[in-house]
Amino acid sequence: MQDDRRSDNPDGSRAGHIIRGTIITMDPERRLIDDGAVALAGDQIIGVGPANEILASFPSSIVTGSAADLVVPGYINGHQHLTGDRLIQSSIPDNLAPGESIFSWVVPVHAAHTPDNDELSASLTLAESLVNGVTSTFEAGTVAHPDRVAAAAQQVGARVTLGTWGWDVDNGPFAGPVDEVIDRQRQLLTQFNGPLVSSWVALIGHDLMSDELATAASELAKSHDTKLTFHISPTTSDVDSYLARTGKRPLVHLDELGVLGPHTVLAHAVHLDDDEAQRVLASQAAVVSCPWAYLRLGQGITREFRHLQLWQSAGRLALGCDSENAGDSVDGLRVAALFTGLAKDCSVDPTVFGAHEGLELLTIKGAQALGVADQVGSIEVGKQADLVVHDRTGVSWPPLGRDPVLQLVWGNDGRSVRDVLVAGHLVVRDGKVLGLDLEAATIAAAEAAEELIARADIEPTSCWPMLPPQA
């Protein structure tokens, strides 16, 4: 591939660029174009089809890539904490009792996060996302300094929807009375509403929001034509606390409050009964499934895989990577493969769901669930040029199977991503994030992690006793 793939356009866009390869479009016909091409102008896709046709239609374009490449729509991560976890990644023990990782680790670390920590943390998480092909990231609602996370997103070139803290408990970091929380959310919506850095209304959720806050947040999201997201029922503890407080299960209660609707994005919703599942479907609320987190935390996803039932009932579903201490790797393809495997295994029916459906959740179906399918999620004329190029010359690929989706989801992960474009801008080239000085970030992260651990007064896990270096 040619080295210089940036155009000379003043805005840095790459008008007149054609990318060749086998194209997995994820368009309504799910076209798969062998030796195809995608033509770009500015931030948009202006042509998709067989390479000879596209080359003839846009004759003066710079052409990059070859039929050995696999070109797919940018992957969509519907639930990701961009701060708090990254700088202490792989530090929270994986044998804690339910809830302990949140209240003994994650919350104190968030409380100790500085604005610099926020930006550094988000830079690293988003950079890892991009090199694994994740172009759209929806933040889960725990950002304390959104301006710094927005700066990180702009620096690395990721498409991000920001969330900020929303809870009205007594003593959590950034908690407050309903009016204060809603004002903070409203300010975020006003400040970040661009095509690349946008925002949504986010509550922590669980049993950490009053009914008044939940309804006010829901109305705020609707009035701004955006989404409301919150965590709910990854374990059975939410069910127990809602039953004790309201006499009803969480999603029954929230539905009766009017909080569920097409504007609602439920993070997790693992432990539902039939009534709750029916209310999710009837209200057209979306669910983001983060299966690696459920396995890492032992939350019971294999016992009752409601997410498959929601999908089978035409429910709105997206995939998420969650956080670096609950799911850990920020790699959408790993999530899609796991979800696909769980769907087959939990139903004891290998015919029910496959790699193609897994890739749908990671692209177009995820985009539909999150309300952004008019812009991203497929390779179609008029959509944003968010593209991932997998290099199929690496050792995992030969011989090429006849079904590249099968080979992509089951046989590969983010490691074969070579180039990534977001809104027509090349943000990853040859596996490197162009907008991140990785060496400097590595040094800064090591220092920041030590300081953060000391401020948060936590004791990170270590494995067996480390032996001193041999003389």
- Residues in touch with Zn ion (CB under 5 A): 140
Min dist CB 163 to Zn ion, Å, is: 10
Min dist CB 437 to Zn ion, Å, is: 29
Please give the backbone phi and psi of residue 35, each rounded to the nearest 5 degrees, phi first.
50, 60
The secondary structure element, H or E, covering residue 116 is: helix 115-131
Tell me whether residue 264 or residue 407 sits nearer to Zn ion (CB atom).
264
Min dist CB 77 to Zn ion, Å, is: 12
Tell me whether residue 267 or residue 364 sits nearer to Zn ion (CB atom).
267
Tell me whether residue 79 or residue 365 sits nearer to Zn ion (CB atom).
79
Angle between helices 332-346 and 404-411 (to 10 degrees): 90
Strand arrangement, sheet containing 201-205: 201-205, 228-232, 264-268, 286-289, 316-319
Say how far apart CA 341 and CA 339 lie, in whole Å.
5
Min dist CB 72 to Zn ion, Å, is: 26
DSSP letter assigned to residue 261: S
Closest CA to 420 of 376, 378, 385, 388: 388
**Cβ-proximal residue to Zn ion, closest one:** 140
Tell me whether residue 25 or residue 299 sits nearer to Zn ion (CB atom).
299
- The answer to whether the Cα torsion of 7, 9, 11, 17 is positive or negative is negative
- The answer to whether the Cα torsion of 219, 212, 100, 295 is positive or negative is negative
Tell me whether residue 27 or residue 139 sits nearer to Zn ion (CB atom).
139
Say how far apart CA 389 and CA 426 lie, in whole Å.
11
Tell me whether residue 48 or residue 140 sits nearer to Zn ion (CB atom).
140
Min dist CB 429 to Zn ion, Å, is: 31
Tell me whether residue 140 or residue 444 sits nearer to Zn ion (CB atom).
140
- Judged by DSSP in three states, 184 sits in helix
Say how far apart CA 375 and CA 385 lie, in whole Å.
9
- Judged by DSSP in three states, 314 sits in coil
| Residue appearing with tokens 């180039």 | 419
Tell me whether residue 174 or residue 410 sits nearer to Zn ion (CB atom).
174
Residues linked to residue 429 through DSSP beta bridges, in sequence order: 432
Say how far apart CA 105 and CA 124 lie, in whole Å.
20
Min dist CB 151 to Zn ion, Å, is: 22
Q: What's the distance, Cα to Cα, between the start and end of the chain in Å? A: 46
Min dist CB 204 to Zn ion, Å, is: 9
**What would the two tokens of residue 110 be?**
């968030």
Tell me whether residue 39 or residue 107 sits nearer to Zn ion (CB atom).
107
Tell me whether residue 43 or residue 128 sits nearer to Zn ion (CB atom).
128
Burial call 410-424: b when 16+ CB within 10 Å, e when fewer: bebbbebbbbbbbbb
Closest CA to 142 of 115, 114, 164, 162: 164
- The answer to whether the Cα torsion of 264, 339, 320, 180 is positive or negative is positive
DSSP letter assigned to residue 384: B
Min dist CB 231 to Zn ion, Å, is: 5
Tell me whether residue 78 or residue 435 sits nearer to Zn ion (CB atom).
78
Min dist CB 456 to Zn ion, Å, is: 18
Min dist CB 103 to Zn ion, Å, is: 14
Residue 166 · residue 204 · CB < 8 Å = yes
